[in-house]
Structure 1
């Protein structure tokens, strides 16, 4: 009875009902657009940055985070990595060996970051070959190296020249080698471009005398949403090793995303605040206009609790209508943007291309994101209903029936 009565009451004032629902729908749609684009951009940037540098997760020696040393390594063996490889959420597994060395040409020398991996895997994962500006890319069993363009210019070296690497190897052994330069890499990050020397993994293991040991296993998941569960599974599978995610490996980027997300949430709540005032005014007006109606219903025997329930059901119908309208407006657009991201142009696009990232703004279509926004709409409605319900609860029958006085 209450549900049928509430539904009929809504359409006694069709314009007011539709305007209130439209306000909720607009707020929901705009917040979904903003949050989906924001989260989609974060996911895209995190994925790009992970492929460019750290990966989403790394398995390291427990002391490697503090020491960054060539002595704190993990096995490269198939038996060691087999449990991680069996996880269905893992899309890429790459062994890497990183250390430092003194790089020298005929006349000059400079400290260099030595990075080693399996060239074919790195090219598939990070598109390393696309950063090649001169020469040829490496084979997996190559005995030549790639050098950052900035470092090569400083050392006055070119394709075909030889570069000397000298440093400390595993367990205090001397690491020294003479290698021919096969190609030059150009990175948008000067700190990397000016100091990187890239070697095939077997060649680096020979240089540093590490045997079948590496600095870390780099892992990537199919989607960012799988990262948290995958990290927990890896920690259970490798209790004696350090499992570090991208936030731990790149804390600066994590802080930037957190600050930007806080700004986006502030704008979203500001939007809901504006809509909330309009919704509150509408609900209050609806309550004041119907005081005589409510008084008649109470005078004819309707319990005050059932009257309050009737008003709440009417408000829920308006909220449901607003949510449905908002979802119908936002979902098709977001699905389209998820498969056809917004293409950036101009200087912003050029900057992203130089970083090796796709100049796009993708939308993230996540059920959890939709449920969060619907929950906020319902919470906003509940907050706006508090005062109108209190006015109905305090309604005086005599004053309301006379039509002029207000409830205390």
Structure 2
């Protein structure tokens, strides 16, 4: 009976009901758009950094994880880590040998990150061949000069190198041996993240092992999970299996600066959403309170007819629940087509804003993140906002003076 009565009451004042639902829909729509663009940008940049550099998870020697020494290595034989193949959430398993070197060309030099990779696996994983802006994705081998390499456009610009020029790499190899080699630049890579574009050198892992004299060893096994949400469970599973013999590190541990930037930006976005909810909430509170004050005589008649105050409050909550459901449905109905369009057509940022994002280590695009959990969280936030707004009207109903309300005054006890 209360449900039927609540539904009829809603449409006695259609304009008021629609106005209240529209306020909830606006708050939900704006919050969904904001959070979806935010999380989409984070996921895209985490994925970029992972595919072109860190991976989502790495297996490392415990000592290497602490000091990044080329002396603390793992076996390059995947059969020694057969458990990785049994984990269904792991999509890619890649060998990498990573170390630092001094790159020199002419009178210029710069510290670089040398990344020894399996070219075929790496290309399937990160599509690195599609990032070649000049030259070709090819590693030629020469017994006198060593192999060819691929370098970032930013590094090539600093060292004033072009395709076909030579670059010298010099550093320290395995157990104190000298690492030095002369390489031909076979291609320039345009990385979406500037920090990589300015310092990364790609070469075949076999050539990196020769350069650093590591033998059949590498610095890490790089893993990529099916989804970003799988990282925590896979990390826990691997930690349980390998124990203290192998250090398992996720992308947050491998890229703490990016993780911190994302957390700070996410906190700022959530604060703005709370601010939005606060502004909409004040208007919603005023609407709900006005609705309650206008109906004091109606409430008094219902109380005089024998309805308990508890049932009257329940009626108010049921009416508000209908409005809340209507607002959430309307908000999702408006937001989803917009999010769907930008999911398939992400916004590409240009100009100074793009430069600022690149310098901060983010790719200048605004992709959309679609996730049921995100929608549920924002719907719950809108529901909570409405419940808070009902505190005042509920108190008003519980304190309603029956005689005064019947006379039209509606004063409290």
TM more than 0.5: yes
1:183 corresponds, among 186, 193, 203, to 186
CA distance in 2 between partners of 1:295 and 1:195 (Å) = 76
CA distance in 1 between partners of 2:57 and 2:324 (Å) = 42
CA distance in 1 between partners of 2:20 and 2:205 (Å) = 64
Distance change (3 Å), C-alpha of 1:181 and 1:17: same
Distance change (3 Å), C-alpha of 1:192 and 1:379: closer
1:237 corresponds, among 230, 237, 241, to 241
CA distance in 1 between partners of 2:186 and 2:200 (Å) = 12
Shift in Å, 1:234: 2.4
The residue correspondences of 1:138-217 to structure 2 (distance < 5 A) are 138-139=138-139, 143-146=146-149, 148=151, 165-172=169-176, 174-185=177-188, 196-217=200-221
Shift in Å, 1:227: 2.2
Which residue pairs with 2:91 in the alignment?
91
The Cα offsets for residues 61-81 of structure 1, whole Å up to 9 and x where unpaired, read as 111122110111112212233
Which residue pairs with 1:311 in the alignment?
316
Task: Tell whether the 8 Å contact from 2:129 to 2:137 is kept in structure 1 after alignment.
Answer: yes
Which residue pairs with 2:30 in the alignment?
30
Indicate the SS of the match to 2:249.
Answer: strand
Task: Tell whether the 8 Å contact from 2:24 to 2:331 is kept in structure 1 after alignment.
Answer: yes
The residue correspondences of 1:127-146 to structure 2 (distance < 5 A) are 127-130=127-130, 132=132, 135-139=135-139, 143-146=146-149
The residue correspondences of 1:315-354 to structure 2 (distance < 5 A) are 315-348=320-353
Task: Tell whether the 8 Å contact from 2:297 to 2:410 is kept in structure 1 after alignment.
Answer: no
CA distance in 1 between partners of 2:141 and 2:238 (Å) = 30
Q: Which moved more, 1:59-68 or 1:159-168?
A: 159-168
Task: Tell whether the 8 Å contact from 1:97 to 1:117 is kept in structure 2 after alignment.
Answer: yes
Task: Tell whether the 8 Å contact from 1:57 to 1:246 is kept in structure 2 after alignment.
Answer: yes
CA distance in 2 between partners of 1:191 and 1:282 (Å) = 51
Shift in Å, 1:15: 0.8
Which residue pairs with 2:298 in the alignment?
293
Shift in Å, 1:95: 0.9
Distance change (3 Å), C-alpha of 1:358 and 1:147: closer
CA distance in 1 between partners of 2:35 and 2:310 (Å) = 39
Shift in Å, 1:346: 4.2
The Cα offsets for residues 264-306 of structure 1, whole Å up to 9 and x where unpaired, read as 1111111111111111111111111111111111112111111
Which residue pairs with 2:118 in the alignment?
118
CA distance in 1 between partners of 2:371 and 2:411 (Å) = 47
Task: Tell whether the 8 Å contact from 1:185 to 1:193 is kept in structure 2 after alignment.
Answer: no
Question: Where do 5+ consecutive residues of structure 1 fail to align?
Answer: none
Task: Tell whether the 8 Å contact from 1:101 to 1:168 is kept in structure 2 after alignment.
Answer: yes
Indicate the SS of the match to 2:215.
Answer: coil
Which residue pairs with 1:56 in the alignment?
56
Indicate the SS of the match to 1:63.
Answer: helix
Which residue pairs with 2:76 in the alignment?
76
The residue correspondences of 1:11-30 to structure 2 (distance < 5 A) are 11-30=11-30
Normalised TM-score (structure 2) = 0.87
The alignment of Structure 1 onto Structure 2 pairs a total of residues equal to 407
CA distance in 2 between partners of 1:195 and 1:288 (Å) = 67
Q: Which moved more, 1:81-90 or 1:129-138?
A: 129-138
Shift in Å, 1:111: 5.2
Distance change (3 Å), C-alpha of 1:92 and 1:354: farther
Q: Which moved more, 1:359-368 or 1:348-357?
A: 348-357
Say whether residues 1:218 and 2:210 are aligned partners: no
Task: Tell whether the 8 Å contact from 1:37 to 1:362 is kept in structure 2 after alignment.
Answer: yes
CA distance in 2 between partners of 1:327 and 1:193 (Å) = 40
Which residue pairs with 1:4 in the alignment?
4
CA distance in 1 between partners of 2:291 and 2:299 (Å) = 11
Q: Which moved more, 1:156-165 or 1:194-203?
A: 156-165
